[in-house]
């Protein structure tokens, strides 16, 4: 399997993990007062897979624009997705970064809560378009086209290891920072 196909599979697999993770994160928003610790834990957990997805996407970008044959043959993303891609990356970094800053700064005055909410709204808009554009392709990307390549062909183990490592890294971050929810929980209980 050539590099462009493998990269597409890695990006799709990581995107699937993120789709599930962000859906779970979205559920915590519905009852944030009760699920704040879980919200912070999941947000920190998703840092690893988000970093992997950004890395695989930027790798595709670099390989295409440096003229790698399989990437050039595959072609660039659709024009709207090329314009939206940097916004997806920037808003993802903004929502996660402001969430991390918010967790570390604790409750109180400061710009981080507003920044987190505002970046979330922008991220949700960008991500909704991004997901709607690609979600229908996930089965073919992950399982191979009818009569096409299967996940077990070359590079499959490496992709699974990369995704597993991104989740392990995110889990480590989440476990090391979940205690940061305590001041927020105390504040919510006090009100």
> How many whole angstroms separate alpha carbon 30 and alpha carbon 140?
32
Could you tell me the residue range of the domain that residue 71 belongs to?
3-182
Tell me whether residue 36 is in a domain.
yes
What does the DSSP 8-state code read for residue 179? G
Tell me whether residue 190 is in a domain.
no
Are the C-beta atoms of 72 and 64 separated by less than 8 Å?
yes
Q: How many domains does the chain have?
A: 1
For every one of its 191 residues, what pLDDT tens digit does the chain have, with 9 covering 90 and above?
568 989 999 999 999 999 999 999 999 999 998 999 999 999 999 999 999 999 999 999 999 999 999 999 999 888 999 999 999 999 999 999 999 999 999 988 789 999 999 999 999 999 999 999 999 888 887 776 554 445 444 568 899 999 999 999 999 999 999 999 999 877 766 55
> How many whole angstroms separate alpha carbon 5 and alpha carbon 17?
18
Tell me whether residue 146 is in a domain.
yes
Tell me whether residue 191 is in a domain.
no
Tell me whether residue 54 is in a domain.
yes
Tell me whether residue 157 is in a domain.
yes
Tell me whether residue 187 is in a domain.
no
């Amino acid at each position: 399997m050539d590099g462009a196909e493998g990269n597409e599979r890695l990006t799709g697999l990581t995107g699937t993990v993120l789709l599930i993770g962000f859906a779970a994160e979205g559920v915590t928003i519905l009852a944030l007062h009760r699920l704040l610790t879980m919200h912070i834990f999941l947000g920190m957990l998703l840092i690893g897979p988000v970093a992997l997805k950004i890395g695989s996407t930027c790798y595709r970008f670099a390989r295409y624009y440096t003229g790698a044959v399989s990437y050039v043959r595959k072609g660039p993303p659709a024009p709207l997705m090329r314009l939206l891609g940097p916004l997806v990356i920037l808003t993802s970094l903004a929502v996660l970064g402001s969430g991390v800053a918010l967790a570390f700064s604790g409750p109180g005055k400061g710009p981080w809560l507003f920044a987190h909410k505002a970046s979330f709204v922008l991220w949700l808009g960008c991500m909704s378009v991004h997901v709607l554009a690609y979600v229908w392709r996930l089965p073919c990307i992950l399982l191979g086209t009818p009569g096409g390549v299967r996940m077990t062909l070359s590079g499959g183990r490496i992709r699974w290891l990369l995704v597993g490592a991104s989740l392990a890294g995110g889990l480590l971050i989440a476990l090391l920072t979940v205690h940061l929810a305590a001041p927020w929980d105390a504040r919510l209980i006090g009100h």
